[in-house]
Amino acid sequence: MPTTRHYLHGRRRRSNGPLILALVLLALLAVLLIVWIVFSSRNSQEESSLPESSVLSQAESSMPEESSVPAAESSAPAESSAPAESAEPSLPESVEASLPAESSGEQIASSEAADTMAAVDESYFDDALFIGDSRTQGFILYSGLANTTAYAGKGLAVNKISTDAVVTENGQDYTVSQALENHSGEFKKVYLMFGVNELGWSYPEKFKESYQQVVEEVKVTQPDATIYVQSILPVSKEKSNSSDVYNMERVNLFNGLLQEMAEEEGVIYLDVASSVTDSEGYLPEDASTDGVHLNKAYCQIWLQYLEEHTAE
């Protein structure tokens, strides 16, 4: 028969079993918790150690792609680079609105003064001065006038006579204004022709104002001279139909302003354009290779018109 001491010892041993099991389970849970914490910590460290560029790459790769620009649009040239024809100044909407509704080659009628003028020979132009652009240069070259004087230059505009040095005398270059001053009072007739280089001006009234300033300058430097304002010559039909600037609508618009200016200034307006205009109101196709500058035959027609329309 077991003693009381042995009995109590057996009960203690049996009652300690659940406690040990609970401790083992807690230990296992603790180990699992530690493993989870360590694993999570490693993942966090790996993500934080990624280089910034790779993070950006992942972010960018997750963004939607932008629509690509069409090749034609992306390869379009800059506005400043244009073909030769587009070198002509473009017309603003305000100017286009002021043009006649229908395209027409009809010329402005001659002034009444031109209809009553007398005819002369080439010697009449010995004391004359021609001022203008490349069209005037061509006229002097092809007309055969040997003893006349010309202050003309390619690209010369009516507002550039005091800035562009187009006159060369004794190896020295001068502006038209300087040359007029240097030869003050020497000329008895002054023929003006500007306009073709100004057809693209945004405000045609500025053309009229600038032309008036030229006339006033001639009056001061050449007080005894008869001043002739020549109309802007026509352009060919092909040129007119292919250009927003060099067309007969613009030519007629500017010639109308020239007539007004000549009347206001008390100088003579010559409708030279009428002498080299075809039945449709354009420069004949055989008159020019570029639709703007006259050849020799038509420069001589121009001269004949001047000889038949003088104030003498």
Residue 150 backbone dihedrals phi, psi, to 5 degrees = -135, 135
- For residues 138-167, give the mean pLDDT: 97
Alpha-carbon gap, residue 207 to 158, rounded angstroms: 7
Alpha-carbon gap, residue 258 to 270, rounded angstroms: 10
- For residues 123-137, give the mean pLDDT: 98
pLDDT at res. 43: 53
pLDDT at res. 80: 35
pLDDT digits (tens, 9 = 90+) for 60-82: 444 434 333 333 333 333 333 33
Torsion sign, CA atoms 267, 268, 269, 272: negative
Alpha-carbon gap, residue 281 to 274, rounded angstroms: 8
pLDDT digits (tens, 9 = 90+) for 217-247: 999 999 999 999 999 999 999 999 999 999 9
Structure tokens at 222: 């050449």
Q: How many CB atoms lie under 10 A from the CB of residue 10?
A: 11
Percentage above 90 pLDDT, the chain: 61
| pLDDT above 60: residue 200 | yes
pLDDT at res. 175: 98
pLDDT digits (tens, 9 = 90+) for 252-277: 999 999 999 999 999 999 999 999 99
- For residues 139-157, give the mean pLDDT: 97
* pLDDT band with cut points at 50, 70 and 90 for residue 2: low
pLDDT at res. 284: 98
Structure tokens at 252: 């007629």
* pLDDT band with cut points at 50, 70 and 90 for residue 91: very low
pLDDT at res. 258: 98
* pLDDT band with cut points at 50, 70 and 90 for residue 249: very high
| pLDDT above 70: residue 140 | yes
Helix 296-308 to helix 134-143 angle (10° resolution) is 90
What's the whole-model pTM score?
A: 0.65
